Structure 1
């Protein structure tokens, strides 16, 4: 591993300020991982790093800013010895009807959900290849099933799915690639929706049935802690009463 001089591997987590990202940090740290917490909200990840303790660092970073990601990778290398795991978790879900009124939301989703994961991986890839590593890409049930009102969001997640499969083939056996496709998870995502009618409808669905971020984090930790000769390539999960 790239941090072989240390006793524990290093996991870089994007979108670590809340939801699945923060939960993944809290799950991986007691499992023996050091963690680099990347997010735009520095106050939140600083508090989380302080909560976790030694071996946890907070790095303010925006996945749409490649220069910022390069600086983050340099810090991970200098302070932790390099990344062994990259969890591409940063994302936004700006659902709404397809119209010119939503065009800024569409571009934001493509830049964060798809290009953000691709750029972060490109920046950290050399560290991950240094002795063998893992990439975990957070997709969605929407990467399998498109619905009215989620077209561009689904497009970003379908894109993540296709890219992940190609990456899996290209990087094996040196770097393992795992794709996680959650259904409804209890996170902040619905609160960011700008289209009021859509936001209200989505919130009702979230109120009815959700998986906890900690439950997704447990699955991520399980996949990462399998023996190196075994890779869990794809995990689809939903609340038990979520139909689609």
Structure 2
């Protein structure tokens, strides 16, 4: 087995030096925080999202940390764009060692009388987008004998709740896909990790189209000391800096005072 992203050419406080990470959903929230955290560890970082203006600012901050940054205009629901993002990252940096699938939507709402366009948007982004990106990157990781795929799921991928049925379904799909892939590639030196956050203060609540569900969700988040995006980014950084012999396959991280599943 060749070196994994954890047996790097870097050392000390930059253990990912010489490696490249590709982060989707990087224009805000967990994706943005993760890109910065991995750059702090020495990784070159490709950042993808649909909001190109935000990515340009983020890429500047990444370069200020002394690493290469690749800006990708990326809609993960478009399979060809996913292939192109991986190809361009490899072309500009020589490799992809870490893929972090952060792009996602949380469109909560009841199943009865639902706007099914919300379902299509979530499945296209949360499930197919993640699968397209993984498919585009995984072959190269298997070929080089190393790599990390980190899929951002949710506590909603573990416990189904009323008012979140379609979102639950999307995250349960992510969990199943990730475990199947883990079994397929783990003996080839490639690690697959699920990171399942509880309540995190990001823009996800603002995107909920059902008014009652949006207000209920915001009230729930405000009732606790919710996680910050940087908290989840630290969990991801922990996962991808483990020795090659160590695979952290699942991380559930919730606010200390989050009592509901």
Q: Same fold (TM over 0.5)?
A: yes
Question: What residue number does 2:252 align with?
Answer: 236
Question: What residue number does 1:10 align with?
Answer: 20
Quote how far apart the aligned CAs of 1:219 are.
0.8
Name which of structure 1's ranges 6-15 and 73-82 shifts more when overlaid on structure 2: 6-15
Is contact 1:37-1:57 (8 Å) kept? yes
Quote how far apart the aligned CAs of 1:100 are.
4.5
Question: What residue number does 2:13 align with?
Answer: none
Distance of 2:131 and 2:171 partners within structure 1: 12
Quote how far apart the aligned CAs of 1:52 are.
1.2
Identify which of 14, 37, 40 aligns with 1:30.
40
Identify which of 150, 160, 177 aligns with 2:192.
177
SS in 2 for 1:172: helix
SS in 2 for 1:180: strand
Distance of 1:63 and 1:97 partners within structure 2: 26
Distance 1:233 1:101, change over 3 A: closer
Quote how far apart the aligned CAs of 1:101 are.
4.1
Quote how far apart the aligned CAs of 1:99 are.
3.5
Identify which of 131, 156, 172 aligns with 2:170.
156
Identify which of 205, 223, 228 aligns with 2:239.
223
Identify which of 146, 169, 172 aligns with 1:132.
146
Distance of 1:70 and 1:233 partners within structure 2: 25
Q: CA RMSD in A?
A: 1.7
Instruction: Give yes or no for the alignment of 1:67 onto 2:83.
Output: no
Distance of 1:92 and 1:195 partners within structure 2: 13
Distance of 1:101 and 1:25 partners within structure 2: 35
Distance of 1:171 and 1:46 partners within structure 2: 34
Distance of 1:17 and 1:99 partners within structure 2: 33
Instruction: Give yes or no for the alignment of 1:166 onto 2:175.
Output: no
CA offset digits 1:138-175 (Å, max 9, x no partner): 00000011111100100011111111111111101321
Is contact 2:23-2:102 (8 Å) kept? yes
CA offset digits 1:6-39 (Å, max 9, x no partner): 9511111010010000000111101011100010
- Give the TM-score of the pair, scaled to structure 1: 0.96
Distance 1:164 1:59, change over 3 A: same
Matches within 5 A, 1:21-100: 21-53=31-63, 54-100=67-113
CA offset digits 1:221-242 (Å, max 9, x no partner): 0110000010111011110111
Q: Mark the runs of 5 or more structure 1 residues left unpaired by the alignment.
A: none
- Give the TM-score of the pair, scaled to structure 2: 0.90
Quote how far apart the aligned CAs of 1:5 are.
9.8
Q: How many equivalent residue pairs?
A: 244
Is contact 1:46-1:57 (8 Å) kept? no
SS in 2 for 1:136: strand
Distance of 1:96 and 1:21 partners within structure 2: 24
Is contact 1:2-1:82 (8 Å) kept? no
Is contact 1:66-1:119 (8 Å) kept? yes
